[in-house]
Amino acid sequence: MSLTDVLLLVFGGLAAGVINTMAGGGSTITVPLLVLAGVPGTQANGSNRVGVLASSAAAVISFRRLGVSGIRKSSIVFLPVFFGSLVGSSLISQISDDTFEKLFGVLMIPIVLLTLISPTPKKDREKTWSRGLTISVFTFVGLYGGAIQAGVGLLMVLALSHSGFDLVKANSIKVLINVLLTVVALPVFLLAGKVDWGPALTLAGGFALGGWMGAKWAFQGGEKVIRFVMVVSALVLSGRLLGLYG
């Protein structure tokens, strides 16, 4: 890696760690950056999980130190997320690099649209999801997160906020589930030889710091600050992956 690649990955990881913790979708920045640094598409997808794990773990610790923990509320989704992530990561590791890069470039467009939706907690009622619906939704979350990761945090925040959680609590539950999802998916990518450790660890350093900072800012209610930057960055990088410009 060149010095430019190292700086891009560190600062890209920092930004993505903040974004992932405060809203979601930071991998729309980091996966393309890994590709631009010379990591093949499917390896970029696997290598990115090292940073996601570091960021999510740092965010969980930071939320707990702030007195926010969602472990009791999220225990019902652990098993469906586990199995979904295992299946999703196993399937995606079988496709070619070129196919993954094109797929990822296309998927970034609806992910960006999701960032424009501001979750509004339904404070006037208790959590109303049935057990069956909760299991179904988070099996899909695990499947998608295990395969792609990018945007899965947005899906979780939207689902959790519409089921009665305030945004701070929803974010604390989201990062905890992300840890579980990544702990399951990362070994699958490792066994498939889809992790490039040099870029992965470089990215993870920025990711971890961003996760720690993002938890504090989310606690203070500042997630709207990063929406504009994320949308612009994701659109630019999506165009690059799809080959719209050099």
- Tens place of pLDDT per residue across the chain (246 aa): 889 999 999 999 998 888 777 767 788 889 989 998 999 999 999 999 999 999 888 888 888 887 776 666 667 788 898 999 999 999 999 999 999 988 888 887 787 777 666 555 555 445 466 778 888 888 998 999 999 988 888 788 777 766 666 667 777 888 888 999 999 999 999 999 999 999 999 999 999 888 888 777 666 655 555 556 556 656 665 665 565 645
Predicted confidence at residue 48, as pLDDT, reads 95
The answer to whether residue 86 is domain-embedded is yes
As a whole number of angstroms, the distance between CA 92 and CA 188 comes to: 10
Q: Are 232 and 28 in contact (CB under 8 A)?
A: no
Whole-angstrom distance, CA of residue 22 vs CA of residue 15: 11
Residue indicated by tokens 């469906």: 80
Which residues 6+ apart lie within 8 Å of 232 measured at CB? none
Evaluate whether residue 58 is within a structural domain.
Answer: yes
First to last CA, the chain: 20
Residue 182 CB partners (closer than 8 Å, separation 6+):
49, 52, 53, 56, 85, 149
In 3D space, the residue among 199, 94, 169, 124 whose CA is nearest the CA of residue 177 turns out to be 169
Which tokens in the block code for residue 108? Answer: 């970034």
| 56: in domain | yes
As a whole number of Å, the CA-based R_g of the chain is 17
Looking at the domain assignment, is residue 189 inside a domain? Answer: yes
Inter-residue contact 154 to 170 (CB < 8 Å):
no
Structural domain that includes position 104: 3-241
Structural domain includes residue 57: yes
Length in residues, the chain: 246
Determine, yes or no, domain membership for 42. yes
Q: Quote the pLDDT of residue 105.
A: 80
Largest CA distance in the chain: 53
Residue 72 lies in a domain: yes
What is the tally of structural domains in the chain? 1
**246 assigned to some structural domain:** no
